[in-house]
Amino acid sequence: MPFSIQVTDPTKANELAKVMTDSRWVDPHWKILFEDGTTADHVVSETAQRLPYNLTRRQGKRHQMAVDHVTGEVVGTARWILPEHLRDPKFKTWPEARVPSPSIEDDEKFRKKFEDATDEEGRIKHLRWDLMEVRNTPLEEIDAKIVHDNGPFLTLDYLSTAPHYQRKGVGSALLQRGLEVADANNLSTYVTASPAGLKLYLNHGFEIVETFSLEYPDFGGTEPVVDYFMIRKPKQKS
Ligand SMILES: CC(C)(COP(=O)(O)OP(=O)(O)OC[C@H]1O[C@@H](n2cnc3c(N)ncnc32)[C@H](O)[C@@H]1OP(=O)(O)O)[C@@H](O)C(=O)NCCC(=O)NCCS
């Protein structure tokens, strides 16, 4: 492998934000979530400001990044959510993907940067929140039912590979690390996938349990946005 997988490093916030933004900016259903005139550079810069605070605060989450061996460049990133029963630090679940707590000085610095990139209501700036609500409300309802009926899960919350580094196995490698943790804990894995990720998840044993398609012409959508709710059962230990 020309890259390695490591715990996400908050000091790499700019590179991480670029990977996350650039991989999704090509998707018209994602780009349209931002106010007119917002550029990818805006989104990268504000995401980078919020990232260190988010990474070091959410201890029920696990974060990994892929780094190119030769250039040292961040080329992919994944964020996972642990099920409630594995969050207690005394269980030491997946310690190698747990971002360490920052020093008091860093924590203060991260909080300040986060607040500078967040509006008065604590929300991400430049997002079209009316459209977010139209898009997310039905997804949240389906999600709640799936979690209730099939949980607990290890949830894949975010996966992205830098566009120039796609189709080299980064997405699979990041995904595989989480699946190993899920199997070791006899847990199902859950993801809400966009069409871009569908094939990757099917290749790794996920099955579609629900598909939701939404038209939103009143907000400028020209074609339906589709989301796949997918679950992978744990592999039995042999
Ligand atoms: C989805 C996503 C994370 C996949 O990342 P990736 O790093 O390209 O994933 P992989 O390289 O592991 O696999 C993708 C394809 O490359 C192929 N591949 C893997 N290694 C390869 C190699 N060395 N040479 C050629 N192809 C390779 C895989 O077989 C797979 O092919 P397939 O789609 O025909 O089955 C990436 O496309 C992305 O960031 N998309 C935008 C964000 C997004 O939609 N994320 C998922 C949301 S749910």
Those residues whose C-beta lies under 8 Å from the C-beta of residue 88, and which sit 6 or more positions away, are none
Mean pLDDT, residues 71-86 taken together: 97
Tell me: pLDDT of 191 over 80.
yes
Pocket test for ligand 1, best of 200, 206, 211, 225 (most atoms within 8 A of CB): 200
Protein residue whose Cα sits closest to atom 41 of ligand 1 = 23
Strand order in the sheet with 225-232: 3-7, 61-68, 74-81, 153-161, 188-193, 225-232, 207-214
- Averaged pLDDT of the chain: 95
Determine the average pLDDT of the residues in 146-157.
97
pLDDT attached to residue 57? 87
| Cα(122) to centroid(ligand 1), Å | 33
| 3 C-alpha to ligand 1 centroid (Å) | 14
Mean pLDDT of 50-75: 94
State the Cα–Cα distance between residues 36 and 214, nearest whole angstrom: 21
Residue 25 near residue 88, CB atoms below 8 Å? no
Give the ligand 1 atom nearest the CA of 173: 12
Domains and CATH numbers, the chain: 3-232 (3.40.630.30)
Question: 22 CA to middle of ligand 1, Å?
Answer: 15
With b for 16 or more beta-carbon neighbours within 10 A and e for fewer, the 70-101 pattern comes to eeebbbbbbbbbbbeebeeeeeebbeebbbee
Q: How confident is the model at residue 122 (pLDDT cuts 50, 70, 90)?
A: confident
What pLDDT is stored for residue 238 in this prediction? 62
Look at residue 26 and give its three-state secondary structure. Answer: coil
For residue 208, the model assigns a pLDDT of 98
So what's the pLDDT on residue 118? 92
For the chain, percent of residues with pLDDT exceeding 90:
92
- Check pocket membership of 74 for ligand 1, CB cut-off 6 A: no
Q: Residue 120's pLDDT is what?
A: 83
Task: Choose one of 68, 75, 172 to mutate for the ligand 1 pocket test, by most ligand atoms within 8 angstroms of C-beta.
Answer: 172
From CA 10, how far away is CA 77, in angstroms rounded?
A: 12
